[in-house]
Structure 1
Amino acid sequence: MTQWLTGARDDPAERAHRVVAAALRAAYAWSVRKDRRDAMREVARMTGVVMEAHGPGRGPTTPLDLVACLRQPLGLLPALAEDPDQAIAQVVLLDGHDRLTADAYDLASEYALPVGDLGNSAQWLPTWTWMQADRIRDETFIALIEGNGQERYVASRRFLIEHPAGPLSDLRDLVSKSGVSLPRRGYTAIPDDHLHRSSGGETWWWPCAVCRWPMAVAGTTVRCRYRPHAAVYRLTEGGTARSRPRLSRVDEGRPRLTTPVARSAVDTGCVEFGVWRFVVVPGASELRVKRSLEELGAAVELWPELDRYDLRVRVGDKELKLDLKEYRSPYRLIADLRAKAPSVRILLPKTHEYQLQTLRTALPSLRVTTETKLYTEVRRALRTV
């Protein structure tokens, strides 16, 4: 009777995953309840999912009970009390103003699942709150592959990564001239919480120095929603009400990042959040690794055989096949690798090299390397060519 909720597997890890997914959807719905008439109905539906996952007498039993839990660490929910992913257990989804927290966007989004019935909520719930990352990626890649050969597919995917936001007229011209394909939803309006409105009525946005997608704006703090793109900036208004606002770096991260300049938001769009988070973000790392390997002297092919894997690296007669994995949660990565065993070596980018031992412990037969180890391997191979 609960098969529509539970699916074929129903072990504790799967129940914990459902709880996080339902909590994320409920948190988003609660955050927009003043604008969406059926938001409370969505919170109630997700309360039912959470109750089912916990079983009788455990966990929140009313929508308001669930909302109260969303303002606290998720690990306080019984289903997550013993979850090995302590990072997700520490996540709080709603802040003191009942807005989604940075961790909700950054980490909890990896736990999204199609739990329960979407109903009318499909019209306003963002895909990243209910659609698995793999499905978002697959939908995007299918749109890029359809009717295209390898060369055009690579060009289309690279275009998406290199142009995740910008003036719509410029983007239309670039698409027309290059002949690339776009995802079904194309470019959408920049989210309101990624815009700054100056006192003179001008609206501005800033591209992340790493992934080029609009950074989030919270008061005078500006930063990319993806935490590994760690630069944090303070916003300062311009000299006049209509002049361009400025950013100054306030964290102690990578000093070589260029401080972004404010751009007008008039007639500007970006790829939707899910495409950015699960296609553009890892894609930016894939392109960076490609450039670094080519600077060393290796030959690199992107997304061979219509994306069977990410990178084919050739050094003389030596060939390396690699799939870059950029998950914030190593436990979600482990679960996905168990569900679908990789056919090539897994590559962890520099920002995620700390996950290496966790992966090797959980999956001892997994072929995995890090970006640093890969460069060392390629340098050694080049010395013998």
Structure 2
Amino acid sequence: MLSGDSPTVARLDEAITACCLAAAAFADTTLAPQQVAQIAMDCLGRLRAAHPARSAQNLDMAAFRSGLRGPLKGLLPARSEVPREVSDLHLLDGRGQLDERVHQLCREHLVPLRALEVPWPWARMRAEQQQGRLHEALRQLPPALYTRARLLCITHPAGEARTLRRSWGDLWGKVDFFEPISQWSWVQVAGWWFACPLCQWPMLVEAEEQQARVRCTAHAWRGVRYTLDLSRAQWSSPPRLRLTGRPSSKQTWPQQQVRGQPASSDHLAFQEGAWRFTTLAGLSEKELCDRALTEVPEAHCEMWPADPYPDAYDVRMSVPTPRGEHVFRVDVKDWIDAAALARALISKPLPDRFIHVVIPDHQYSQLPTLNDRLPTTHYRAFTVTRFLEHVADTARCRA
């Protein structure tokens, strides 16, 4: 890291935001060179302003651009208190493309992003707008329809139009955030697209001369990576992918063969913002409930309860006791930066009921940060496994 004094939270937020925004500009091949140059200069100015004067002198455009391909800590002010997941993150890969986690990191620093009056040359603003419109449409539904719509956002975010209409039923016109996959060239190869086995959304296709690499941008880290042999000019039947990724420990998923679907105008997919912020978030919540049904059979789960209003928290989980049910109110979170998550939670009015914050097992190292920074009278953080053990212990102790 460049030398200097310990940065304030605001300076660190601006530094991270500037790096992410510049990386997105360099990776966006649809931007004109002058647009990229202007955005990069604006971001470099923001980054330099986040550094002490003596270390900012070492930051020129060449160092900035080179640093985006290395660990993020190389561009942040010295003594920055960020978790390893953030400090070791390479915003751009060897081919100059955005790492899958950059969108998530930017979402976690959303307030600073909005505060920076810098043009957003990438799909981020569009995704934010899509998310806002979808959530507004969902909030207008009655509680029973709200829950049903949220579940459909998880289970049916893409597919053949007739199948989607049949699955969504009377909600089809009320939650209409689909686009034709035929317009998404980045998910197609030889006229086919492929659904991620975890989230069912179209996977990214990177084609070369003889082979295409196919991966889910949200779940590649869990092993959802494939290849497709392109030596055949066309397929008379849907092509099948060959799995190349290795599922990470305790992160199992159905490893059935993935077959292509026609990338035609009658195959639709959720807009990216709707998928990223609603489908993926709901998938984590559903996975928690599915594990609870298996590991704590006496537990009862209700997703997105109207308690006191829909989406006040994610899951209401209860276990029976002689004195009645014991209730756990759960917020499921999957953030890269634990400090940013803590700030986001405490920036809101404190909940009137105790909330259990549950994060993925692989983020167990973030528990001390969360539990140190969150008010213990209102929040306590667990990993999924530790939370389910806590629920099971409660059921046994009170039985």
More displaced, 161-170 or 310-319? 161-170
| Per-residue Cα deviation, 1:122-159 (whole angstroms, up to 9, x for no partner) | 6x53126995xxx976553222112x211111122222
1:347 and 2:344 are equivalent in the alignment: no
Contact 1:312 1:320 in 2 (8 A): yes
Report the 3-state secondary structure (helix = DSSP H, G, I; strand = E; otherwise coil) of the residue aligned with 1:306.
Answer: coil
**Alpha-carbon distance, 1:222 to partner:** 2.5
Contact 2:213 2:228 in 1 (8 A): no
Closer, same or farther: CA 313–33 of 1 in aligned 2, 3 Å: closer
Contact 2:156 2:167 in 1 (8 A): no
Letter in 2 for 1:276: W
Aligned to 1:372: 385
Aligned to 1:315: 319
1:288 and 2:280 are equivalent in the alignment: no
Counterparts of 1:255 and 1:280 in 2: how far apart (Å)?
16
Counterparts of 2:242 and 2:372 in 1: how far apart (Å)?
41
User: Which structure 2 residues correspond to residues 75-154 of structure 1 after superposition, within 5 A?
Assistant: 75-79=73-77, 82-105=80-103, 107=105, 110-112=108-110, 113-118=113-118, 121=119, 125-127=122-124, 140-146=134-140, 148-154=141-147
Contact 2:69 2:94 in 1 (8 A): yes
Counterparts of 1:130 and 1:275 in 2: how far apart (Å)?
7
**Alpha-carbon distance, 1:160 to partner:** 1.4
After TM superposition, the score normalised by the length of structure 2 is 0.77
Counterparts of 1:209 and 1:142 in 2: how far apart (Å)?
28
Counterparts of 2:361 and 2:105 in 1: how far apart (Å)?
18
Closer, same or farther: CA 38–94 of 1 in aligned 2, 3 Å: same
Contact 2:51 2:77 in 1 (8 A): yes
The counterpart of 1:224, out of the listed 216, 226, 232, is 216
Counterparts of 1:172 and 1:216 in 2: how far apart (Å)?
25
The counterpart of 1:22, out of the listed 18, 25, 28, is 18
Counterparts of 2:163 and 2:310 in 1: how far apart (Å)?
28
**Alpha-carbon distance, 1:64 to partner:** 5.2
Report the 3-state secondary structure (helix = DSSP H, G, I; strand = E; otherwise coil) of the residue aligned with 2:175.
Answer: coil
Counterparts of 2:230 and 2:127 in 1: how far apart (Å)?
40
Closer, same or farther: CA 377–109 of 1 in aligned 2, 3 Å: closer
Contact 1:347 1:371 in 2 (8 A): yes
Closer, same or farther: CA 352–128 of 1 in aligned 2, 3 Å: farther
Aligned to 2:3: none
**Alpha-carbon distance, 1:371 to partner:** 2.4
Counterparts of 1:66 and 1:145 in 2: how far apart (Å)?
42
Gaps of 5+ in 1: 1-10
Counterparts of 2:44 and 2:162 in 1: how far apart (Å)?
43
Contact 2:181 2:268 in 1 (8 A): yes
Report the 3-state secondary structure (helix = DSSP H, G, I; strand = E; otherwise coil) of the residue aligned with 2:357.
Answer: strand
Counterparts of 2:256 and 2:10 in 1: how far apart (Å)?
42
**How many pairs does the alignment contain?**
364
User: Which structure 2 residues correspond to residues 326-341 of structure 1 after superposition, within 5 A?
Assistant: 326-340=334-348, 341=350
1:70 and 2:68 are equivalent in the alignment: yes
User: Which structure 2 residues correspond to residues 190-339 of structure 1 after superposition, within 5 A?
Assistant: 194-197=186-189, 202-219=190-207, 220-227=212-219, 230-237=222-229, 240-243=232-235, 244-253=238-247, 254=252, 256-267=254-265, 268-294=267-293, 296-304=297-305, 305-316=309-320, 317-318=324-325, 319-339=327-347
More displaced, 316-325 or 28-37? 28-37
The counterpart of 2:152, out of the listed 153, 156, 159, is 159
Report the 3-state secondary structure (helix = DSSP H, G, I; strand = E; otherwise coil) of the residue aligned with 1:246.
Answer: coil
Identity of aligned residues (%): 23
Counterparts of 1:78 and 1:299 in 2: how far apart (Å)?
45
More displaced, 273-282 or 317-326? 273-282
Counterparts of 1:83 and 1:76 in 2: how far apart (Å)?
13
Counterparts of 1:222 and 1:327 in 2: how far apart (Å)?
24
**Alpha-carbon distance, 1:347 to partner:** 1.9
Closer, same or farther: CA 250–142 of 1 in aligned 2, 3 Å: same
Contact 1:111 1:332 in 2 (8 A): yes
Counterparts of 1:106 and 1:190 in 2: how far apart (Å)?
26
Counterparts of 1:348 and 1:78 in 2: how far apart (Å)?
26
Letter in 2 for 1:260: V
Closer, same or farther: CA 193–336 of 1 in aligned 2, 3 Å: farther
Counterparts of 1:30 and 1:228 in 2: how far apart (Å)?
22
Letter in 1 for 2:303: L
**Alpha-carbon distance, 1:362 to partner:** 4.1
After TM superposition, the score normalised by the length of structure 1 is 0.79
Letter in 2 for 1:249: L
Contact 1:33 1:39 in 2 (8 A): no
Report the 3-state secondary structure (helix = DSSP H, G, I; strand = E; otherwise coil) of the residue aligned with 1:114.
Answer: helix
Counterparts of 1:306 and 1:349 in 2: how far apart (Å)?
23
Letter in 2 for 1:25: L
Report the 3-state secondary structure (helix = DSSP H, G, I; strand = E; otherwise coil) of the residue aligned with 2:241.
Answer: strand
Closer, same or farther: CA 269–352 of 1 in aligned 2, 3 Å: farther
Report the 3-state secondary structure (helix = DSSP H, G, I; strand = E; otherwise coil) of the residue aligned with 2:288.
Answer: helix
**Alpha-carbon distance, 1:310 to partner:** 0.7
Closer, same or farther: CA 218–161 of 1 in aligned 2, 3 Å: same
Counterparts of 2:43 and 2:97 in 1: how far apart (Å)?
18
Counterparts of 1:361 and 1:23 in 2: how far apart (Å)?
28
Root-mean-square deviation over aligned CA pairs: 3.4
